[in-house]
Each structure stands twice: as structure tokens, then as C-alpha cells.
Structure 1
Amino acid sequence: MGRLSNLIPLVALLSGSATSAAIDQTSIHQTRATDFSNPVLWEDYPDLDVFRIGSTFYYSSSTFAYSPGAPVLKSYDLVNWTPVTHSVPTLNFGGRYNLTGGTPAAYVKGIWASTLRYRSSNDKFYWYGCVEFGKTYIWTSSGTGAGDKDGEVDPADWAWEAHPPIDKCYYDSGLLIDDDDKMYIAYGNPNIEVAELSDDGLSQVGSRVVYRPPSGTTIEGARMYKVGEAYYILVTRPADAEWVLKSTSGPFGPYEQRELVTRISGPLRNAGFSHQGGMVDTPNGDWYYVAFMDAYPGGRIPVVAPLRWTDDGWPELVTDAQGGWGASYPVPVQTDKSVPDGKQILDEFTGAELSHHWEWNHNPDTSRFSLAGGDEGGLVLQTATVTEDIFSARNTLTRRVVGPKSSGTFRLDVSKMGDGDRAGAVLFRDTAAYIGVWKQGDEASIVVVDGLELSQGSWTTVSTGRVAETGPVVSNADDVWFRIEADITPAFGTNTARTTTFSYSVDGGETFVRLGPAFSMSNTWQYFTGYRFGVFNFATKELGGEVKVKSFQLQPL
């Protein structure tokens, strides 16, 4: 969903790489099952762009101000996915993305509906994204022979390189690499344009409008394809429909239009309509449409359904018996290959890099964190900001909450905190709450703080929160466990507030004690990103203190 979609009344439309992680693979995959269930990935991966190289599928998504940006996931069956890289290792969009000037910083800006494709002629991946309606930024990476290796790229081999941006906004763009190796990008709102790129893909040759919707109609989220001799552009009419534009006269049209889905029911209650996404074929020639559902408070989550083709060359969605988006379908690809399951993961931060499940709240201060390495592992977070406001604090590390319910448990060594430091585990969004340690002088106490809030629209800090309840003094403790239990079952468009609870352990993680009232999450869409688990450490007096994050455990509930 593009930036202009924040003007649409959505509610009225309602019906990794595991470099640093020790993966617990006891949780159940959908791999090799006869059928799969929607959603295929109950995590906030919106504005998706999906494509295939050989037998490997890739999926690119939006991340706004979170860094690194534009995560890439891979799958062998369109059902089980794992993150393997980020196309934008650092947000090179300007100083506000470094969070050095407080809020509003870059919250709800940054990477929206971008595009990613692989070009076999030079073995290179291309990522394009328009930032703040201004320039289109470009990052590329060698495919290290992906075209010859059935689409496989070793996660260690991704090496993303920034290029000078194009001085034009390819708003909500979709890249096509044609049979003759020419590169085109479809983009725009409400008019859809197609640009031809230079041979190296780093500049524009020309651009023209190829489709104008009826007056007053908003369309965006363009994804461009060639199937046979016809060109197709999928666009969304936010937030309840997907249209197909088709040309048999070349990439610049003219284009005809048909509806793919409109206000389609299912597959989840209290969630938006399935819309905006892309289509992809399997190695045996079957086609699928991958879309997302607005499923707040958890964000926008992907769903998959098969396509069939009409005799005159238009894709149609295969619906369930009631004409809705199916809660389940046959698995698209039966394969013995599998990817690590992110639904149940223990990360002890033992590698040389963070896994691609993790993203910072903005570009981090790289001098203020480190991976300890060795057998013990751990992530050392030194205080990076002096502030009373967690939204202004650098180096808050986040990962998506897994639905419908899950817990995130952080183990922290708090023995080196300084006077005035605050560290702990946060449920992070524009309204937020946390459980952590406040260090005052020589005394450290466990607290729950809620009421943290950014103003909607300006994204400046409205409230730095209040202490909802104080727990025990832990001044002599080294390790404290903090647990967040979150229910992100969709409640979009309802008055139902899903809740989160906080607890702690000071006996080696054996017994957890709940602290503070249940926190009511927001179902609003304007911040776009869903709730995340996060870990933080900031100073209120002076820099110098640190904590070590010894582990994180994600557990479905």
C-alpha cells in the first residue's frame, strides 16, 4: 500500500538467515503437507513483491524507517518462508533516518512499496524504492550464479551496493525484465506510468502514462509481468480490490482493465480484504496470487491463492465453495527442501552478524553495539542516546510478533547499567509499553511503563509514558528475564482491544511473575507497521552503561 493510501478510510471498506540464531526446528512446517492454511506467514510483511528463480521463490517487503530495510525472504513452496537478507543494509536517505534529532525523525517514512527482481544476463539483483515522494533509490547485489543454481544464493554471499538515485519518484513500483533483457518499471497513483530504464538499470530512458483510471478512483501498488506475448500490470484499489491491466501491444500499451478481486471475503475474521500483491508461477507452470490482509494490531500479513487463466488470457482467482478467499488450498509445490521455521526460535546471538529477523528502529549507532562472539555469545547494547523518550532512543532492536499469539522472552545481564539508565523489553509501535530495569543511583528496580505514544500524522512524541507498576529491586542481580505475551488476533475495524501482558524472572528463567496491567494495543492502520517485540537500553543522565542481551526466545502461544 503506497503513501497516498493513508487518505483512504480503510475501516469503512472492511468486510532468515539464522547467522546469529540457534534455531529450534521442532515446530511444525507446512512443508510436504497436502494442504496449506492461510495466512501462510502470520507476520507483518506488507507491500510484497514475489518472484521465482528456478525452484526458489523470493519475497521482498516494506520496512519504513526500520533498518536494515527491505527484507528478502525465500521459499521453495510459496508456503514456508525464511528471511535471508535485506536489500537496503543501511537507510541512505538522509540524516533523519539516523535518529539523531529526536522525533518525528523518520517514523512512517522510508521504504514503502518497492520492487526487487533478478536479471540473469548479468547475474544481479535490482532493488528500487521511492522515498518520501522524491528520489528513487537503487541497490544491487550479485546473484553469485543464482540462475545456474536453481535460484539459490548463500546468505553469506549477498553483497548489496548502493547507486546514485534516480531523480524521480517511481511511486509503488514494479520491475519487469523483458525477454530481450530490457528493463521497465510500472508505477504511479492514480495514473499508471511505465518507464524504460537504461541498459545498466541505473537511469531512465523515457516514461509515459499507460493507464488512467476513472475519475476519482485511486489505484497504486503496481507490479509488472510478461506472460506469453502479453504484458500485465497488477494494481490495487486500496483497500479492497485488485485490478489487472493487460496489453497485447507492448509494455507501453494500450492497456485494458479487469477486476481480479473486489471486496473478497475471508480467510480471517476482523481483517481487511485480501488485496495488493503480485502473481508468480511455479516450476510446473501453475500460477498463484500472493496478497496481504490488513490484520491490525499485528500489521499486514500475506495470504496465497491459486490462479487460473481464461481462454482470452486473463488471470482469475480460484475461490472456495462460497466464492471467498480459501482458508486452505493444496500446497503449490511438493518438495523435500525446507527452510528454517521462524515460528519458534531461540537466538543466543552467537554469530558474527544479527539474523535477518531483526531490524533496528532507525539506522543504529554501530559504535554502540557489538556481538560478543565466542561460545558465550550475546549482544552488547551500550547506551547510545541520552533521553527520557524511548521513541528518540537509538539502537532499539525489534522483530515482528508472530500471530495469532506469541511470547517474546529476553534474557538481559543488567550488571553494568549506569545511573539513570533504562533497559528492557518493549512492545513497540506508535502506542507502546515495556517492562525493564530503571537504575537510580546504586538501586535497580523492575518497572512496567505504559502510555508511550506518538501523535498520529506528525509522529512526534505525545507521551514518554508512566510507571504502571514497580516490581522488586534487582541491584545485585546479573541476569533478568523479561517476557511479553502478545495477542495479535485481528481486530481491525472493531472496538475490541487485543492485550499484552508483561512478566519477569529473577530465578534463572524458571518462574515468571506478571507485573502491571494488561496493555491494550491499537487497531489503527495509520502507522502501517504492526506491533513488534524489541529490546532497548538508553540513558537519561549520561552515556557509559551497557547491558548484554544473552538470548531471545520466540514462542507461539
Structure 2
Amino acid sequence: MRPLNRLFAILALFLTAVSSLPQDANITPRATSFNNPVLWEDYPDLDVFRVGSVFYYSSSTFAYSPGAPLLKSYDLVNWTPVTHSVPTLNFGSKYDLPSGTPGAYVKGIWASTARYRASNDKFYWYGCIDFSKTYVWTASGTNAKQKDGEVDAASWKWESHNPIGTCYYDSGLLIDDDDTMYIVYGNPNIQVAQLSADGLSQVRTQVVFSPPSGTTMEGARMYKRNGAYYILVTRPADAEFVLKSTAGPFGPYTSRTLVSRISGPLANAGFSHQGGMVDTPDGNWYYVAFMDAYPGGRIPVVAPLKWTGDGWPELVTDAQGRWGSSYPMPLQTSKTVPPSTGLDEFKGSSGLSHQWEWNHNPDTSKWALTGAQEGGLVLKTATVTGDLFAARNTLTRRVAGPKSRGTFRLDVSKMRDGDRAGAVFFRDQAAYIGVWKQGNDAKIVVVNDLRLTEGTWKTAATGNVAATGPTVSNTQDVWFRIDADITPAFGTNTARSATFSYSVDGGNTFVRLGPALGMSNSWQYFTGYRYAVFNFGTKALGGEVKVKSFKMDMV
């Protein structure tokens, strides 16, 4: 047989063999449509933009630290956090929670903005803090992988700069075609500022649009398309308007309504509003907004846009004129991002996963990862207090909806007399399951009625022991579990519930303990409920626990 014929014969045998292999039933084709919400987690005040073929999404975090998470996606539907633009809240001592509440609860990072600047390969973040001045952080040296139009940062080195004296309240950054940087901001009057060439100071600012008397506008974002400038602004908490200028970034601008009190896609949730526009590499545009979906917080939804002949964006609705519960996928890609669910054994060598945020800036001397080999997070007592809200180094993670379960595994063998540690369902009205160490006894308890006073955010109640479980030894690990239903109940009197349970047999059997927590549906605290782990002393410092793992599952 000739060599070429022999090659064809071998290839034919190979293809026959491959075609006869059993098919993997777990392999499913890529989805052709998506459901809203695209991310059932509390990521409010979003600013979304694209760099090459990668989408990025910046969000508010208030007093949680690190702040301003930046998420990425390859398809506008599946998202994962990859960094925090503000590694440390360098806004003043209250962000360290030095002497109890109110600390900085509900203060800090509100609607901020982020963009990538190709001319110097930097990401920029701007945020007005405490209605005072605007803080600036940049990330360079990101080792961005550039291929086929994609800029996908491999690492992040965020650097703080001197604040800008103007408060760019609810701001949106635009880097124009000539590389000039503009930032839009304000409430109720909308202003545009031109920044210096390095983006670190202000050149000029002026009012470009004033709403009708009695109308509030905020949440501004700025874009350019086909030579026209666009500003998106929200009327909280039910509408979004588009301002358009063909004369330049400083206007004049005219206005049209994008959405107003639009129905869907979830029951017992607010209207979709306060978002941003983004285009795909193939030129299609999408509007990404959030819905008030308490008790879980504010969650993102996506819808396609179409453009009128005279250059105005319009939302694509379903057949009933509502925000669609599903739409065709924005684009198809083989790239994926990891889900927020699953097991975390704290084996990171470079720090915590970007799913985690502390209740305020942590005391860095009181926590440590034990290494990629062993795994685990050591939490030493960082505060002596009887008030969990006043305790530093409470580590939080967003709850996935509509129903999920968070399970912490703790080694409590090094707790000391007076220490309290465990898993808390954290918000301004909270409850927890944990261990109270009293003398030589370590007893499992459920504590409820932990409350902050709305408005002042001072502690109103430090909690009551609602149920007592068994005494645990100094040698056994304890598993604490919180089951949470954050199905939206915004605007209703329905209190969704979270329940608490424990395991002392290796995580095999869980025992329900104590009453359910009836969650608050109020918006005034802004952030939704979070799973969290804590350890504080009531008598002295020196004790510690080791968090061996956390697992979040959908239920």
C-alpha cells in the first residue's frame, strides 16, 4: 500500500473509532438565550463597559472592604469578580471601625465609575466619598493579554492618587476618541467636567442639563456613538432618561425617556433602572440595569437596545411591553467564568477570593491564610466588645438567590473565655449561630435581634440568645449553616426567612436550632443580606478560630 493510501486508511479507522465512542450526557450545547436576572446577587449602581471582547462591571460597596469590585464577563450574562478597584478604604479613620458603631455603615462607595484607557494601558476608578471629594485609583502593569481584540487583565496593581476637590457625585467616565477624559455627575443638575491629560485633576466643569423643577436626576453615565454624546440618568427609583448632544460633550443636550416604571421581569421587585449601555464587538447595544429586590439587595438585569433613525436608543421589550424575562444571548463564546457557588477552602496564596469583603477595613494583623497546601483562614479576635456590629474583621459574602445555603466549617479549639464566633446573616437586622466560650465551656447558640438604628446606624440592640445547643469539645470542628430565601418581597409585608443549623459529626447531619430570622425588606441600608463569619472577644484579645471552608449551594 502506498504511504499516502496507508495514511488515509489510518485516518478512516481513527474517525470510525471516535464516532463509536459513547457520548457524554453531561455535555450540553451553549445556551442560545438567557434569563433575567443575569446575576442574582447584590451588585448595585453598576457601571458596565467593554475592553476588546471582555466586559467589565463596577459596583458600589459602601463600607465593605476592599471596595468597588470589578467583575468580568465574556457574554454579558455570566459574571465573576476579578479585582477590587479600592483595595483599602483610604477615606478616613471611621472606615476602620475604630470605636464601635456607627462607624461607616451606609457611607463609603456609592455609584462610582471605572474605565480602561488604551493610550497608557490603565484602568481608572473615580468615586465621591461622603459628599466631599473624589478619590482616584488606577491600575497599571496588569499584564493584559491582548489577542484578537481582547484585553483581559492577568493581574491588578491598584494605586491611590490625591483626591480631586470636586465631588463627582454618581459619576460616569468617558474617554473620548482623542483621549480626552470627561466625567459626568450631579444631582439634580447634571454637570460634565473635563479632566487633565493624566486624569488626576480637573480642567473645567459646567452644568449641561437641568431637569424640570421637582425632578431628581442622578446615576449619570456618559457614552459616545456615531459622533453624538449620550448621558444616561436615573429618576430614582423607577425611570431612566437619555440625554443626547450632537454639539460636543458640553451640550446642549435634549432628553428622551428610555424606561419609566417598566414592568418585569420579577414579581415583588422594583422597576429596572439606574444602569448603563454597552456595545458588543459586533455592534449591538445592551442596557444593563438593576432591580430593587430586597431582602437580597439590588440585582442586575439585561435587555437589548435598538436605535431609531435619528440616533436614540430604545429598549427591546417582550410582547406585553415589559422588560423581558428572557432574551437571545448577546453573543456566543467558548470562554467561561467560575460561578459564585461552590467550595472555598481558603487555599489562595495571594489573598482572599474577590467574592469576599470585610464589614469595614480589617485589622490586617488579626487574620491570615495558612497557605495553599494546608488551607484555612485564621481569624484572631480583633475587637473586645459585646456588639457584633462594632467588631472588626467580620468577613462577608453576597447571598445568591433566590434560595441558597451557606455553610462554614470552623475549628473553635483556640477560642478563649468570653470569645464569640460563628456564622451571621449580616445586615442592619441580623441573627447568627455560633459558639460562646464561657470559662472552659463552649456552647452552640442562636442569637437574634441584632439591630442598627435606621438613619443614624448606631447599634440599637446587641441580640438575645434565642436557643442553646450542645457543648462542643476543644478538639472537634463545628459546621454552621444558614439557609436563606431571598425571593424578592420589596414593597410587601412578607418577611422572607433564614434558618440556622449546626453539625458536630463531621458535617454529615445538620440540626436546626432556634427560630427563623424574618428578613427586612427595607432599602435604607442599601445593601442586601450577606453570609458572614465573625470572631470577637468580650473580655480580652488572644483567642482565634480557623475557618476551614465555606460552601454556597443553590437550594
Which one of 94, 97, 100 corresponds to residue 96 of structure 1?
94
Whether 2:343 is the aligned partner of 1:346: answer yes
The CA distance in 2 between the partners of 1:345 and 1:196, in whole Å, is 44
Q: Kindly report which structure 2 residues correspond to 1:328-339, keeping only aligned pairs within 5 A, or say none.
A: 328-339=326-337
Q: Which residue number corresponds to residue 37 of structure 1?
A: 35
Q: Cα offset for 1:339?
A: 0.7
Tell whether the 8 Å contact from 1:415 to 1:478 is kept in structure 2 after alignment: yes
Tell whether the 8 Å contact from 1:281 to 1:288 is kept in structure 2 after alignment: yes
Q: Which residue number corresponds to residue 6 of structure 2?
A: none
Tell whether the 8 Å contact from 1:53 to 1:146 is kept in structure 2 after alignment: no
Q: Cα offset for 1:341?
A: 1.4
Query: Against the structure 1 CA distance between its residues 91 and 302, is the aligned structure 2 distance closer, same or farther, given a 3 Å change threshold?
Result: same
The CA distance in 1 between the partners of 2:31 and 2:156, in whole Å, is 31
The CA distance in 2 between the partners of 1:49 and 1:176, in whole Å, is 12
Q: Kindly report which structure 2 residues correspond to 1:248-259, keeping only aligned pairs within 5 A, or say none.
A: 248-259=246-257
Which one of 237, 240, 259 corresponds to residue 239 of structure 1?
237
The CA distance in 2 between the partners of 1:323 and 1:73, in whole Å, is 30
The CA distance in 1 between the partners of 2:521 and 2:222, in whole Å, is 32
Tell whether the 8 Å contact from 1:244 to 1:260 is kept in structure 2 after alignment: yes
Query: Against the structure 1 CA distance between its residues 51 and 554, is the aligned structure 2 distance closer, same or farther, given a 3 Å change threshold?
Result: same
Tell whether the 8 Å contact from 1:29 to 1:341 is kept in structure 2 after alignment: no
- Give per-residue Cα distances to partners, 1:258-283, cap 9 Å, x unaligned: 00000000000000000001000000
Q: Cα offset for 1:153?
A: 3.4
Q: Which residue number corresponds to residue 12 of structure 1?
A: none
Q: Kindly report which structure 2 residues correspond to 1:100-499, keeping only aligned pairs within 5 A, or say none.
A: 100-142=98-140, 144=142, 146=144, 148-149=146-147, 150-155=149-154, 157-342=155-340, 344-352=341-349, 353-499=351-497
Q: Which amino acid aligns with 2:532?
A: G
Tell whether the 8 Å contact from 1:31 to 1:338 is kept in structure 2 after alignment: no
The CA distance in 1 between the partners of 2:332 and 2:152, in whole Å, is 21
Tell whether the 8 Å contact from 1:120 to 1:147 is kept in structure 2 after alignment: no
Q: Which amino acid aligns with 1:338?
A: T
The CA distance in 1 between the partners of 2:302 and 2:541, in whole Å, is 48
Q: Which residue number corresponds to residue 4 of structure 2?
A: none
The CA distance in 2 between the partners of 1:350 and 1:154, in whole Å, is 22
Tell whether the 8 Å contact from 2:145 to 2:152 is kept in structure 1 after alignment: no
Q: Cα offset for 1:154?
A: 4.0
Tell whether the 8 Å contact from 1:29 to 1:80 is kept in structure 2 after alignment: no
Q: Cα offset for 1:374?
A: 4.2
- The SS at the match of 1:424 is strand
Which one of 80, 83, 87 corresponds to residue 81 of structure 2?
83
Q: Cα offset for 1:146?
A: 3.9
Q: Which residue number corresponds to residue 545 of structure 2?
A: 547
- Give per-residue Cα distances to partners, 1:157-208, cap 9 Å, x unaligned: 2000000000110000000000000000000000000000000000000000
TM-score (norm 1): 0.94
Tell whether the 8 Å contact from 1:36 to 1:331 is kept in structure 2 after alignment: yes
Percent sequence identity is: 77
Q: Cα offset for 1:375?
A: 2.0
The CA distance in 1 between the partners of 2:48 and 2:28, in whole Å, is 19
Q: Cα offset for 1:147?
A: 8.1
Query: Against the structure 1 CA distance between its residues 482 and 123, is the aligned structure 2 distance closer, same or farther, given a 3 Å change threshold?
Result: same
Tell whether the 8 Å contact from 2:141 to 2:157 is kept in structure 1 after alignment: no
- Give per-residue Cα distances to partners, 1:32-73, cap 9 Å, x unaligned: 201000000000000000000111000000000000000000
Tell whether the 8 Å contact from 1:430 to 1:454 is kept in structure 2 after alignment: yes
Q: Which amino acid aligns with 2:458?
A: T
Tell whether the 8 Å contact from 1:433 to 1:450 is kept in structure 2 after alignment: yes
The CA distance in 1 between the partners of 2:267 and 2:128, in whole Å, is 33
The CA distance in 1 between the partners of 2:318 and 2:519, in whole Å, is 32
- The SS at the match of 2:221 is strand
- The SS at the match of 1:258 is strand
Tell whether the 8 Å contact from 2:142 to 2:157 is kept in structure 1 after alignment: no
Tell whether the 8 Å contact from 2:414 to 2:543 is kept in structure 1 after alignment: yes
Tell whether the 8 Å contact from 1:433 to 1:448 is kept in structure 2 after alignment: yes
RMSD over aligned Cα atoms: 1.3
The CA distance in 1 between the partners of 2:404 and 2:174, in whole Å, is 38
The CA distance in 2 between the partners of 1:214 and 1:294, in whole Å, is 25
Query: Against the structure 1 CA distance between its residues 225 and 146, is the aligned structure 2 distance closer, same or farther, given a 3 Å change threshold?
Result: farther
- Give per-residue Cα distances to partners, 1:394-427, cap 9 Å, x unaligned: 0000000000000000000000000000000000
- Give per-residue Cα distances to partners, 1:294-352, cap 9 Å, x unaligned: 0000000000000000000000000000000000000001001111111x210000112
Structure 1 runs, 4 residues or longer, greater than 4 Å off: 28-31
- The SS at the match of 2:269 is coil
The CA distance in 2 between the partners of 1:227 and 1:151, in whole Å, is 21
The CA distance in 1 between the partners of 2:28 and 2:272, in whole Å, is 21
Q: Which amino acid aligns with 1:193?
A: Q
Query: Against the structure 1 CA distance between its residues 120 and 31, is the aligned structure 2 distance closer, same or farther, given a 3 Å change threshold?
Result: farther
Q: Which amino acid aligns with 1:66?
A: Y
Q: How many residues align?
A: 528
The CA distance in 2 between the partners of 1:45 and 1:165, in whole Å, is 25
Q: Which amino acid aligns with 1:348?
A: E
Mark the structure with the bigger radius of gyration.
2
Q: Cα offset for 1:101?
A: 1.4
Q: Which residue number corresponds to residue 10 of structure 2?
A: none
Q: Which residue number corresponds to residue 20 of structure 2?
A: none
Q: Which residue number corresponds to residue 507 of structure 1?
A: 505
Q: Which amino acid aligns with 2:136?
A: I
| Structure number with higher relative contact order (C-alpha < 8 Å, ≥ 6 residues apart) | 1
Tell whether the 8 Å contact from 1:468 to 1:516 is kept in structure 2 after alignment: yes
The CA distance in 1 between the partners of 2:511 and 2:119, in whole Å, is 58
Q: Cα offset for 1:145?
A: 5.7
Tell whether the 8 Å contact from 2:422 to 2:435 is kept in structure 1 after alignment: yes
